Structure 1
């Protein structure tokens, strides 16, 4: 039997009403969401702040291109594996407490990451960070859905997208300044978010008040373990293939078969679990299935299309970490504008599919054009291509979650929201791993070609004299070798974007087939069960009625 413990606003967040039964005003909702948005800002800032510092970090710690990729992939991997678990926990326990726990986990990972003495330690800390950010990413959408109706949610999703954009552009800029400041150094990139996190925790405690629903159920730990194992094995194979072993080899066969077996076991466990981590019945709904698949391909395009910008500007164009952050502003500006404007229009009209389709077109075009990058491409072209990519991402990211939340019953809100986030993170993790491996291979190929053109003496230096695949320090290379390295990285990053473009195209094809359903005007706790999902039992329905009555008392 579910029991509800009201607190603070006394259920205001859950039913979009204040304690006297009146609807929450815009200012009241913004106050309730302020701590949540600040927490998201801290997580994204702490993540993006590393991007422009990463070439310097990997160089100082003696890492390779594989290490560079894994520092990014490790966080995506743990975020991917943890997201469904956070979603399920949000259906069972206090959402506010879970947000605070995920923020603390992320901060602890960041602090220890700043003490890293080698890439192995840094990668381990990134795993911890990913667990925390997985919670924040999933719970932000879930908390908003619990408070705000789908019709109004487009507006606030736009605000969340704006926070994402500001933190995404502010992080690289701040990280670049810190890295370029001799008396600070890159380790402060991990420490600088701690004060903001403490403030976020305090604000969350004072402003976010949701009823606590407790149910006597078990968390599907076996399902969480199996899906984590399947994803991990898949990513390890993708990252190491072509380097530690051949793409076609017994090792490849063993790892791919192992991932498939674990995946099948996960499906078997979920089909029999009394309270599965990902309810498979959700996928009977066509919208949820298509949105999840589209999120997978958007994730590939989103993460792989942005992770390699710092390498392009620093290693192909010789820019400083600070300038590298400044030069990516057009993409973040596009994301900021499209997420806020589309959110406002969706709230007014209740229509969202046109933005998904338009976003898919812009994202595919932007990545395809970025595939033409070379080390000497005029910056105005790069800025235009980045802006198109940002506009596409801003229209697709939040609205895929919104379309899904509009289709589910209240008891499945957390699980359904986390499913879309899970597939986006999975796509990002697989994309970064695969395209990181592609980039390492292409850069090595282009370097060898460039060195061969310089003559036998240069070719004997191997990978530009960087020790067999390490991240080069351009300032220490003689002019001819430096040009070879810049050309190789410029062409290699261009290839990465070119390989990412088909993923965006597949995402576009999928969203075309999503049927548009007008957004509901009531928050998730009042929404009826959607077509294709399993409605709650009479007992559950009476419990929710009782919950709402007690929360409004």
Structure 2
């Protein structure tokens, strides 16, 4: 207990580095009358950095983000080459879906365990897992083992989800409240760099035929493994850790605090659901396999929710009590829908450019760069603008989220709703507008959730946000794949129905008869536009939800103004509190006041 109080005194929540009396009393109250084994199950890892230490930690964290996003950007361009090497033309979309399913699990587990074993330790483990998965994917080309490849893709997904989640959480540990939006926005340049490397190098490597019997696409996985090693070195050197990892005798006790049942039932709900969505046609929608997987998914989802609502003396993976705050619940829902549309864009837009617009894979990757560049720059810009406005007492987050939702809805409505082929430059401008929308929402939603919860719930709240976003992406790509195949089978003549099974391997249209080439191209264009219309629909739901956030914000301002006038005897309303006036770990009371 004394050690904890000393740590609090040294690394307290106030900006001058000392522990406030309230924080000291809180720590004492949590430790009195407890068994020593129960103390510090959740480590207080708040350690605000300055100067060179903050710069070094920022570089290390953002390099880890860059490493994780390289794979996410490259997978769509690699799918045709991988499907040819592994003879997986009909199942290659699992390369994306397995990764996203794994990311959902990784978001749950690693972010959760970082409260026990420190952020740095779990980030190092995630990078090691990423390197092992990347090396394994490259070696799968030697044995042409499709199942092993998809399992290793899931392993990379676990690592990718863990890295992005841990970086978001760690930045709140190291950065003071008044600067969090700006530093969170530094992920934008990392995202841009990863997009350039992934989108351009993947199609170039896919065209290489090496003499050592390994196809060129394996080079990207060797690159990813090397980047992971460099990132692990930077994290180990540059990231400080206020608390040390628990010693061996305490490991078993700490592991008993983990909600293993929640992890098990959560994964068992997601994986069968995506399997049913993607493979329903192949198995047959009325087959015992599909019915059994659907029942299993529904049952496990119900148990997962029940476990999250129960008080079992454990920390649930997704604490459903957070949903009692309407702003948190709405923000989570928006993240789900944005993840749905965003991953559909990454997965299906390159396919649209190649098959429907006749671009080469390398040109298609280059045409995606403006979208991801705009998205990355907007991540940084929105964070900086939110910080600037917050310092002046203005709550701007709901307006940024509404702005992004409107842009996403409008761009997808034009892209999916216009029947004629748009000029290429118009198509690119629409993706840029879409990137402005997603960049405005993804960045500000992290700060929005962090401002609504206590320090004790910060890690699990942000982790839940990331889990829900990746879950939306996983379901979005599964739904999009099924929509494309359904629409293709409806549009193509019977002798071209097999084309629908191989569309994600990007078949060479030149092998078809000239008349069939036009039919296949037009059918592919119309089918992919259906996916864009689905993205428009989910972004429309975001507009409705974000409008609710804006209305709640306006109502809150009016209510606070009336209360201030009443409290001061019809005097001047008291100024609103800005972020730097808040105590660390305590959400602003203005964020919770409701009429």
Class of the TM-score when normalised by the shorter of the 2 chains: 0.7 to 0.9
Farther-moved stretch of structure 1 (493-502 vs 306-315): 306-315
Task: From 340, 364, 367, give the equivalent of 1:327.
Answer: 367
The aligned counterpart of 1:61 is 86
TM-score using structure 1 length = 0.86
Contact 1:230/1:259 (<8 A) preserved: yes
- Deviations 1:160-196, CA, capped at 9 Å, x for gaps: 1331233123311111221233446111121112222
Structure 1 Cα separation of the partners of residues 505 and 53 of structure 2: 52
Matched, 1:337 2:396: no
The aligned counterpart of 2:543 is 508
The aligned counterpart of 1:544 is none
- Larger C-alpha radius of gyration, 1 or 2? 2
1:121-136 paired onto structure 2 within 5 Å:
121-136=148-163
Contact 1:285/1:532 (<8 A) preserved: no
TM-score using structure 2 length = 0.80
Contact 1:46/1:110 (<8 A) preserved: no
CA RMSD of aligned residues (A): 3.2
Task: From 97, 103, 125, give the equivalent of 2:121.
Answer: 97
Displacement of 1:496 in angstroms is 0.8
1:22-421 paired onto structure 2 within 5 Å:
24-25=49-50, 27-65=52-90, 67-116=91-140, 117-183=144-210, 185-212=216-243, 217=254, 218-246=257-285, 252-270=290-308, 271-275=310-314, 276-350=316-390, 351-372=396-417, 376-421=421-466
1:423-462 paired onto structure 2 within 5 Å:
423-448=468-493, 460=495, 462=497
Contact 1:286/1:532 (<8 A) preserved: no
Farther-moved stretch of structure 1 (417-426 vs 165-174): 165-174
Displacement of 1:374 in angstroms is 6.7
Contact 1:63/1:471 (<8 A) preserved: no
Task: From 523, 526, 532, give the equivalent of 1:497.
Answer: 532
Contact 2:63/2:231 (<8 A) preserved: yes
Contact 1:179/1:321 (<8 A) preserved: no
Displacement of 1:109 in angstroms is 0.8
**Alpha carbons of 1:346 and 1:532: their partners in 2 closer, same or farther (altered >3 Å)?**
closer
Structure 2 Cα separation of the partners of residues 439 and 373 of structure 1: 17
**Alpha carbons of 1:44 and 1:468: their partners in 2 closer, same or farther (altered >3 Å)?**
closer
Equivalent position SS for 1:68? coil
Structure 2 Cα separation of the partners of residues 52 and 371 of structure 1: 22
Contact 1:17/1:23 (<8 A) preserved: no
Q: Say how many residue pairs are matched.
A: 519
Structure 2 unmatched ranges of 5 or more: 21-46, 391-395, 557-576
Return the structure number with greater relative CO, CA threshold 8 A, min gap 6: 1
Task: From 503, 509, 516, give the equivalent of 1:481.
Answer: 516
**Alpha carbons of 1:315 and 1:412: their partners in 2 closer, same or farther (altered >3 Å)?**
same
